[in-house]
Amino acid sequence: MSKNEEKTHIIPYRTFLLVLLVLLTFTFISIGVTSYNLGPFTVLTALLLATLKTILILTYFMHLKFDVKMFGILVAAVLALIAVVIFITFLDYLFR
Partner 1 sequence: MSSQEHTRKEPSFYEVKKHKGIFAWILSTDHKRIGLMYLYLIMTFFLIGAVLGLLMKLELIAPGKTIMEAQTYNGFFTLHGIIMIFLIVIPGLPAVFGNFFLPIMIGAKDVAFPRLNLLSWYIYLLGAIIAITSQFSGGGPPDTGWTFYAPYSFKTSTNMLPAVLGAFTLGFSSILTGLNFIVTIHRMRSPGMTWMKMPLFPWALYGTAWIQLLATPVVGITLLMTVGERLFHIGFFDPALGGDPILYQHLFWIYSHPAVYIMILPAMGVISEILPTFAQKTIYGYKAIVISTIAIAFVGYFVWGHHMFTSGMSGTALYVFSILTFLVAIPSGVKVFNWISTIYKGSIDLRTPFYWAVSFIFVFMIGGLTGLVLGSLATNVHVHDTHFVVAHFHFIVFGGVGFAFFAAIHYWFPKIYGRMYDETWANMGWLIFFIGFLTLYLPMFYLGIAGMPRRYFDYLPEFHGGNIISSLGAIVMISGLVIILFNLFRSARIGPPAEKDPWKGRTLEWTVDSPPSLENFKEEPEITKGPYEYQ
Partner 2 sequence: MSQQVHTDEHRDDIGSRFGMWLFIFTELLLFAGLFITYSVFRYKNWQAFHLAAEELDVFIGALNTVILLASSATIAMSITALQQKRKKLTLTLMGTTMLVGLVFLVNKYFEWSLKFEHGLYPGSETLVEFGKGEVLFFGLYFFMTGLHALHIIAGLGFISFVFYYVIKNKVTHDNFVLLENAGLYWHLVDIIWVFLFPLFYLIT
The CA radius of gyration of the chain, in Å to the nearest whole number, is 18
- H helices of 37-68, in order, are 40-56
Question: Given the complex with partner 1, which of 16 and 87 has the nearer CB atom?
Answer: 87
Contacts 24+ apart (CB under 8 A), 62-71: 63/11, 66/9, 66/11
User: What is the residue-wise DSSP string for 19-30?
Assistant: HHHHHHHHHHHH
Q: CB under 5 to 8 A by kind: which of partner 2, partner 1, none does 59 bind? A: none
Alpha-carbon gap, residue 47 to 5, rounded angstroms: 37
Which partner in partner 1, partner 2, none is near 30 (CB below 5 to 8 A by kind)?
Answer: partner 2
List residues near partner 2 by CB under 8 A. 3-5, 7, 10-13, 16-17, 19-20, 23-24, 27, 30-31, 34, 42-43, 46-47, 49-50, 53-54, 57-58, 60-63, 67-68, 71, 74-75, 78-79, 82, 85-86, 89-90, 93-94
Query: Which positions touch partner 1 (CB under 8 A)?
Result: 1, 3, 78, 81, 84-85, 88-89, 91-96
